Chain A
Amino acid sequence: GIQVEQSPPDLILQEGANSTLRCNFSDSVNNLQWFHQNPWGQLINLFYIPSGTKQNGRLSATTVATERYSLLYISSSQTTDSGVYFCAVEGYNAGNMLTFGGGTRLMVKP
């Protein structure tokens, strides 16, 4: 099946700093989504981005499908950004099944 790797696995930032999270995947995809899992365990949709670039406030994401990677940018980080960020992809023949990466655990310090 499709492989999804995220980096870095852990990241500690000072409030106000910027960061880039990376997601590499091993095959062509129908779907790529970024999620934020908050400290209460909820998975929050950030972006649906199988290709191209999107922005939502301080967050933006870019997926280069031909090179099989996606980047999530967090600017001016806040303590509420802490949690785990997951990239999840659905391969062309995956029948809607999402394969999750291992996540990036982010801690933003005040």
Chain B
Amino acid sequence: EAQVTQNPRYLITVTGKKLTVTCSQNMNHEYMSWYRQDPGLGLRQIYYSMNVEVTDKGDVPEGYKVSRKEKRNFPLILESPSPNQTSLYFCASGGGIAHGYEQYFGPGTRLTVT
């Protein structure tokens, strides 16, 4: 089954404790992206990657890091989480210009930073 998976689905952590949210897709997509969703602000892009070893900032990259060492994986790293990073996070993947523009979203990770 074609899908995007994220782990963990729920996470409660404390300020300053480094964490990683994993994202994996099995559709051989070049493009992957992270979004955060906040009440009243909608979905905003954090980082995206057009291919392996290629990453770029989205609208709200501050406080986040990403890496794309393999095509299927695109982890989101919070080096020193703060309460304003409490949010619902979505990973997405898409085929891009070569394989069609439709994007698929993971189930979401609900993060609370206390």
Name A residues whose Cβ lies closer than 8 Å to a Cβ of B: 30-31, 33, 35, 41-43, 45, 48, 50, 86, 88, 90, 95-98, 100-103
Contacts and interface: CB of A to CB of B under 8 A. Distances in A.
Contacts, number: 52
A47 to B, nearest CB: 9
Interface string B94-113: 10110011111101101000
Given A42-B108, A43-B105, A50-B101, A100 B42 contact: yes
Contacts of A96: 31, 33, 48, 50, 94, 96, 101, 103
Interface string B74-111: 00000000000000101010101100111111011010
Contacts of B110: 41
Contacts of A33: 102-103
Contacts of A100: 42-43
B88 A97 contact: no
22 contacts: A31-B101, A31-B103, A33-B103, A41-B110, A42-B107, A43-B105, A45-B105, A48-B101, A48-B102, A50-B101, A86-B43, A88-B43, A90-B101, A95-B48, A96-B33, A96-B50, A96-B96, A97-B58, A98-B33, A98-B45, A98-B103, A102-B42
